[in-house]
Amino acid sequence: MSKNLVIVESPAKAKTIEKYLGKDFHVLASYGHVRDLIPKEGAVDPNNDFAMKYEVIDRNQRHVQAISKALKEADTLYLATDPDREGEAISWHLYELLKEKKLLKNKPVHRVVFHEITKKAVTEAIAHPEELAINLINAQQARRALDYLVGFNLSPLLWKKIRRGLSAGRVQSPALRMIVERELEIEAFKTREYWTIDAALTAHEQNFKAKLTQFAGEKISQFSITDQELAEKTKQTLLDAADGQLLVDKLEKKQQKRQPAAPFITSTLQQEASRKLGFTTKRTMMVAQQLYEGIDIGGETAGLITYMRTDSVNLSVEAVDDIRALVAEIYGPENVPKEPRVFKTKSKNAQEAHEAIRPTSARYLPNNLKNYLSAEQFKLYELIWKRTMACQMIHATLNLVGVDLSCGNGQHVFRATGSTIAIPGFMAVYLEGKDDTKESDDKESFLPPLEEGRPVTLNDINAIQHFTEPPPRYGEASLVKSLEEHGIGRPSTYASIISTLQNRDYVTLDSKRFYPTDVGRIVNKFLTEHFTKYVDYDFTANLEDELDAVSRGEKDWIPLMHEFWKPFTTLIHEKEESVQRKDVTQEAIDEKCPECASPLSIRLGKNGRFIGCTNYPTCSYTRNLNDDGAASNEPEVVEGRVCPKCESPLVLKTGRYGKFIGCSAYPKCRHIEPIEKPADTGVECPQCKKGTILKRKSRNGKIFYSCSEYPKCDYALWNAPVKESCPECNWPILTVKETKRHGVEKVCPQKDCKYATPYEGDPADVQGPKES
């Protein structure tokens, strides 16, 4: 047994580091946190300075035993977990656990920190060990205690006042508030009509457009023209005044510099991977973890990127020198600025010892590594590599042109603008994406050569109708950006915040946009009305800042906990007594019940919100939330359809799992069918060879695939089928499968066949449960 025992979090990381350190070191994985708070009330004791009761996590019992056994034969222990507060906490918990077992007697314990898994970084860290950072540990303990106390005290209140099984979180609740408030803003939005007037022009055989900015000497605003009649009248006046041409009144030419974006931090990587690659935050962090921990690149295992949980935009001097040298080699020395670029970190708590996310070596060119990486790994690595290279290149230079064209003795003015890239600089490598843009990021408009005082041919004038649009719903990129701007959460928490909201069914993700569920709306309404302070963006951000102050050693965590706990627990007790369930789950509306004349209200039921009588159970009148109340007791008939079994009319019904089509002769006839027909994948069923495989949804909402001939044929799959035969066993189809370890692959669905190959398609199209 080696004399030196090194502990890291994951087996992949352990494998890479053991190769770097050699035979004198034995490296084991803790598989994440080894212990956590006991999962019941009393795990945190506010009356005893928030003393915490921990226990070993069941799934990691055997790993703790393996570490304990190895430590008995080792002389020195190195704790080499990740360089952030979670990593520090994992090391501390392990240290405390081994100390309790009396396994550390007369054995030196060192904390080892490195920000990239390269041989140089690892061996230097081992040669210069540190001690556990108690300030980081205290900050992590305080965060864990706060989250526990909020969850264990607020969640039972939600059970009593709304529905059993609900829960609330310290950081997730403000994030839910963002999504619900945006939805309410969209619902309250009133669309307005407006028209724009464009001139279609030609000069030097090139067509271009100009927009009306002044009419009859008056400046045109967005709502100057609000109906078709005025638009057509304006158009005709302009055509008459122009008589086939516009005059170039004023020509402006100038150059603009565009600077490259800073290298990636956690939040910007998540945003760009969402915009450019369609990755979820969870997938981005999973793939980044693989790149960080080490990839076999042809006989050599190497960590390809630096640590991916960081809010620092710093780059080491050595890395910058390497990047600048490579830019000169690949893109030419003229694209290297005279001085290295230095970026400023926005976060007050950014740890300057950390670096931005970058390749461990700029000379690991993406195309040279492509054969060793999965499709997802390659896409993310290429994104990181390009952003890193671009940040140390010269600015881009754009030629901007603006031209005013007039008619009617200068009373009517059109404006055309355009830009061309004079010197591409960093834009030759990378251009940062934008949220909610309909045009591509790097689209530039071009204008033909024009001269002041010269006429330009007018082909036509177009009056174009528009309608104002509400603000867009949050996608993953824009939600992460908003959380970061408000100071809610930290780099390591954005992915878990989003996952938690989805797992609790507070929000759904449809077409890459977040929609609050009915339950999410009610929970948010309850929290914002009764726990306003605790879902306030500024309060949440200020609490994060105070926890950061604890991590810097500027503040003691126990007084901070008392400061939070006393008013919070008082409010819990107050609301338990003063708030009634109906106050939360019912919302009064200005309408009387058509059956008993009692007031109606919006209520929360098993299947979501509905309108019901407040005189329930005496009166059982109900209707769907979006119905207008007319013929509320008459089921909606499906036009042009009859029951295939008894030929009675088919009607729309609502059940436990939402709306469906059923026979009006129920219960004599029990025929039912989904409202939405299952999508046909077009892949022939390999079992019966008669039907095709349809995409369906199970009762609990999971996507699965089964034969269209069911129940005659019971062939079914959890993974999407592909119309390709297996090259190993010749089974007629393959499936697209996603796992944490291998990413997205095409695999043979036959249990006895192990065929698998990377899938090059869009992983966002893959539906179904994800396996570990």
- CA dist., res. 117 & res. 134, Å (int): 24
Structural element, H or E, at residue 321 = helix 317-331
CA distance 389 to 383: 10
Grouping H, G, I as helix, E, B as strand and the rest as coil, residue 17 is helix
Could you tell me if 413 and 433 are in contact, meaning their C-beta atoms sit under 8 angstroms apart? no
Q: Residue 87 has what DSSP assignment? A: H
CA distances in angstroms from 323 to 133, 315, 330, listed in the order given = 32, 10, 10
Strand order in the sheet with 586-592: 586-592, 599-605, 608-613, 622-624
Q: Are 462 and 502 in contact (CB under 8 A)?
A: no
One-letter amino acid for residue 708 of the chain: S
* Residue 659 and residue 672 in contact, taking contact as beta carbons nearer than 8 Å: no
| Placement of tokens 């708030």 in the chain | 579
What single-letter amino acid sits at 628? D
Fill in the amino acid letter for 487. G
CA–CA separation, 226 and 404 (whole Å): 24
Residue 224 DSSP label: S
> How many other C-beta atoms can be found within 10 angstroms of the C-beta atom of residue 618?
8
Question: Percentages helix, strand, coil for the chain, rounded to the nearest 5?
Answer: 35, 25, 40
What is the C-alpha end-to-end distance of the chain, expressed in Å? Answer: 31
**Dist CA 418 CA 201 (whole Å):** 14
Measured in residues, the chain has a length of 772
| Distances, alpha carbon 555 to alpha carbons 46, 48, 190, 378, 565, in Å | 18, 19, 48, 43, 17
Give the separation between CA 36 and CA 89, rounded to whole angstroms: 10
CA–CA dist 738, 767 (Å, integer):
9
The answer to whether 747 and 735 have CB atoms below 8 angstroms apart is yes
| Beta bridge mates, 546 | none
Q: Which of 78, 148, 292, 307 is catalytic?
A: 307
Whether the CB-CB separation of 447 and 466 falls below 8 Å is answered with no
Catalytic status, residue 307: yes
Sign of the CA dihedral 383, 384, 387, 392?
negative
Q: Which DSSP letter does residue 366 get?
A: H
Instruction: Report helix angle 375-390 to 317-331, nearest 10.
Output: 90
Count CB-CB contacts under 10 A for residue 362: 21
Interatomic CA distance for residues 743 and 771, integer angstroms: 10
Q: Measure the CA–CA gap between 186 and 524, rounded to whole angstroms.
A: 17
- Locate 181 and state its tokens: 């408030």
Phi/psi zone of residue 608: left (φ > 0), alpha (ψ -120 to 50 degrees), beta? left
Residue 617: is the preceding peptide bond cis (ω within 30°)? Answer: yes
The rounded distance, in Å, linking the Cα atoms of 379 and 756 is 19
CA 28 remoteness from chain centre: 32
Residue 173 has phi, psi (to 5 degrees) of -65, -45
Q: Which residues contact 231 (CB under 8 A, 6 or more apart)?
A: 195, 197, 225, 463, 465
Are 668 and 682 spatial neighbours (Cβ–Cβ below 8 Å)?
A: no
Phi, psi of 457 (to 5 degrees): -70, 130
Which residues have a catalytic role annotated? 307
